[in-house]
A and B are shown apart, each in its own frame.
Chain A
Amino acid sequence: MTQIAPPISLEALSFAYSELPVLEAIDLEVHNGEFLGIVGPNAGGKSTLLKLIMGMLQPQQGTIRLFGAPPHKTRNRIGYVPQYPSFSRDFPITVEQLVLLGRLGCRGNSSWLTSLLPGRYQMADYHAAQQALQEVEAEPLAQRQISSLSGGQLQRVLLARALAGEPELLILDEPTANIDQRLEGEIFELLRELNQRLTILVVSHDIAFISSYVTRVACVNRTLVCHHTDAIDGSLIQDLYGEPVRMVAHHH
């Protein structure tokens, strides 16, 4: 049963912060192996949608299924890369220790009993962390303290933390917002490779740029509309943002 369940399935989902509706009647099914881009204006509900999918917020209406189960039961199968790290950059922790934290909750199902397992990391945990760092080409940074990393390096390390948990679904929130353009391309090339074995969901404000990488785009602005990437043109973007947008042709 769990094998055929799609990674993400949302039905008639609505969410409001107190009185203010943020998302209304969202239907979305993300299939195995897909590379879905979520775009939309600021405050359009993109981050809220991610929080709902990961079970950090509860919807007022509708259902959320993550691998066919409620999010809090299966969210250890997600690897998540946040837009703004929710930690302090001067915390005394090395890159390797940070990536190892992505290994918590890997053993068995995320029941309360396994979450209380005492003890230390196993050899398998160190291997997975090392492999994840290799995959994002950040292995030489392993013993560095996180305060000494550049923005681009930290982004790779956070991706490694997400990969260390051996996820089936990778969720990235604006992965390239804090790094320069050259690195942006590198990160997306890396995601293209990872997409061969993982389902990927990436939130971005840069629709023109991500459309050359993703297989499908979901436009979120209170409601959600899906488009295949070849259908994206100027009038669609204009509808979405509500004002004329100048498109810049990209050729890679």
Chain B
Amino acid sequence: MNEFLTALSEYTFLQSALVAALLASIGCGIAGSYVVVKRITFIAGGIAHSVLGGMGAALYYGVDPLGGALFAAILAALLIGWIRLQWNTQEDTLIGALWAVGMAIGILFISKTPGYQTDLMSFLFGNILLVSEKSLWFMGGLDALLLLAVVAYHRQFLAVSFDEEYARLRGVPVTFFYLLLLVLVAVTVVLLIQVVGLILVLALLTLPAAIAEHYVHSLGRMMLLATGVGAILSTTGVALSYSPDLPPGPTIILLAGAAYLLSAVTARALIKRKREKAQSSSEAP
């Protein structure tokens, strides 16, 4: 760990990596909480994986791959949202198909792009140590968009995530806000791809929020706590991976998985103890 701290003061690429981790955790706190409480992990997975189609196409045509990723993510979010609203009964089959088709398109484009094969690994598994300053500004801009949308429309997003039927009755444009919510998820996916790559995105999107859900009882607090948990997990992951020269993305994900398991066991024990305490106090005269 000491080795990491000395390196951190010396190398700007490590400093950039930490800034990227912190910027990404804002996204996983906000959008991750919605994904967890609305139980749309599968939808988020579909969005995340079909992003490869956009990245592949961007590489092939020589456009900025992050821009291509953002475009593909938003397109996939709108398409999946529309599928869910129109074809409720075959929803999971269609999303599964889109998931794979998006990836297939991406791999075809990448295989036809000369000389770029090595980049495939960093799209799939992320490479936080190669984040450029331009990417950091891009990530910061996406974070600002997310924060703005949630500050402006947190009531509507809560209504749509909690009870769509009642929200519609109260005149909330449910379709609009549902699609906007999926667009926020898409934006967050692009944020997180920088850190862990698109294969592992799903875990970083959902695990910090799922850990937070064990301890708090409102969506706002869940977002704050999940942002904090995400920040700790991703910075610790970068630090731990430095000395043994491990890839940071998978290290972060393993750390998140372990933290989730530990938290689930602890939360369960806490509930059990609380219940026993309540029982013994009600039995006492």
CB nearest to B149 among chain A residues = A118
Chain B residue numbers with a CB within 8 Å of A104 are 155-156, 159, 167, 170-172
Bound complex: CA A49 to CA B216 (Å):
40
Answer whether residue A92 sits at the interface, using C-beta atoms and an 8 A cutoff: yes
Pairwise interchain contact A116-B173, C-beta atoms closer than 8 A = yes
Of the stretches B93-101, B134-142, B217-225, B255-263, the one at the interface is: B217-225
Interface of A is mostly: loop
Q: Does B273 contact A (CB under 8 A)?
A: no
A75 to B156, CA, bound (A): 17
* Contact digits for A105-127, partner B, Cβ 8 Å, 1 yes 0 no: 10000101011101111000000
CA distance A56 to B153 in the complex (A): 24
0/1 string, B200-217, CB within 8 A of A gives 1: 000000000000010011
CB neighbors of A among B81-140 (8 A): none
Determine the chain B residues whose CB is within 8 A of the CB of A119 once the complex forms: 152, 155
A56 — which chain B residues lie within 8 A by C-beta? 165, 168-169
A145 to B215, CA, bound (A): 12
- Take A104-B172, A105-B171, A115-B173 as given contacts and tell me if A92 and B156 are in contact as well, using a CB distance cutoff of 8 Å: no
A77 to B151, CA, bound (A): 27
Q: Is the CB of B163 within 8 A of A87?
A: yes
Task: List B contacts of A105 (CB < 8 A).
Answer: 170-172
Main secondary structure of the interface of B (DSSP, over half): helix
Partner of B163, one of A75, A86, A110: A86
Query: A101 and B170: CB pair below 8 A?
Result: yes
- A residues less than 8 Å from B156 (CB atoms): 104
Bound state CA distance, A121 and B156, in angstroms?
11
Q: How distant is the Cα of A56 from the Cα of B171 in the complex, in angstroms?
A: 12
- How far is it, in angstroms, between the C-alpha of A211 and the C-alpha of B32 when the chains are bound? 50
Cβ-defined contact, A54 with B169, below 8 A: yes
Given the complex of chains A and B, what is the CA–CA distance between A112 and B217 in angstroms? 32
Contact with B along A68-86 (1 / 0, CB 8 A): 0000000110101010011
- In chain B, positions 5-46 with a C-beta closer than 8 Å to chain A are 37, 39
Per-residue contact bits, chain B 159-196, to A (CB 8 Å; 1 contact, 0 not): 10111111111111100100000000000000000000
A85: chain B residues within 8 A (beta carbon): 163
A112 B159 Cβ-Cβ under 8 A: no
Is B168 a contact of A91 with CB atoms below 8 Å? no
Residue B199, interface by CB 8 Å: no
Q: Is B158's CB within 8 Å of the partner chain A?
A: yes
Chain A minimum-CB-distance residue to B163: A87
A165 at interface, CB cutoff 8 A: yes
Q: How near does chain B come to A90, taking the closest CB pair, in angstroms?
A: 9
A92, A97, A101, A145: the one contacting B166 at CB < 8 Å is A101
How far does the Cβ of A30 sit from chain B's closest Cβ, in whole Å?
Answer: 18
Inter-subunit contact A110/B168 (CB<8 Å): no
CB within 8 Å for A92 and B37 given contacts A104-B155, A119-B152, A145-B217: yes
- By the criterion CB–CB under 8 Å, are A94 and B172 in contact? no
Is B155 a contact partner of A92 (Cβ separation < 8 A)? no
> A97–B172 Cα gap in the complex (Å)?
16
Q: A87-B163, A97-B158 are in contact. Are A102 and B170 (CB under 8 A)?
A: yes
In the complex, the answer to whether B219 meets A92 with C-beta atoms within 8 Å is yes
Given A91-B37, A145-B217, does the pair A75, B169 have CB atoms closer than 8 Å? yes
Q: B218's contact among A86, A94, A110, A115, by CB below 8 Å, is which? A: A94
CB distance from B88 to the nearest CB of A (A): 14
The smallest beta-carbon distance between A10 and chain B, in angstroms, is 18
Task: Enumerate 25 A-B pairs (CB-CB under 8 Å) in ascending A order.
Answer: A54-B169, A56-B169, A76-B171, A80-B169, A86-B163, A86-B164, A92-B219, A93-B217, A93-B219, A101-B158, A101-B166, A102-B166, A102-B170, A104-B155, A105-B170, A105-B171, A112-B173, A115-B171, A115-B173, A116-B176, A118-B153, A119-B155, A120-B155, A145-B217, A161-B166
For the complex with contacts A86-B163, A87-B163, A92-B217, 14 further pairs of A-B residues with Cβ separation under 8 Å are A56-B165, A75-B171, A88-B39, A92-B216, A101-B159, A101-B163, A101-B170, A104-B156, A104-B159, A105-B171, A114-B171, A115-B171, A115-B172, A118-B152
Binding site for A on B (CB under 8 A): 37, 39, 151-156, 158-159, 161-173, 176, 213, 216-219, 222
In the A-B complex, the 5 residue pairs with the closest CB atoms: A118-B152, A110-B171, A105-B171, A105-B170, A145-B217
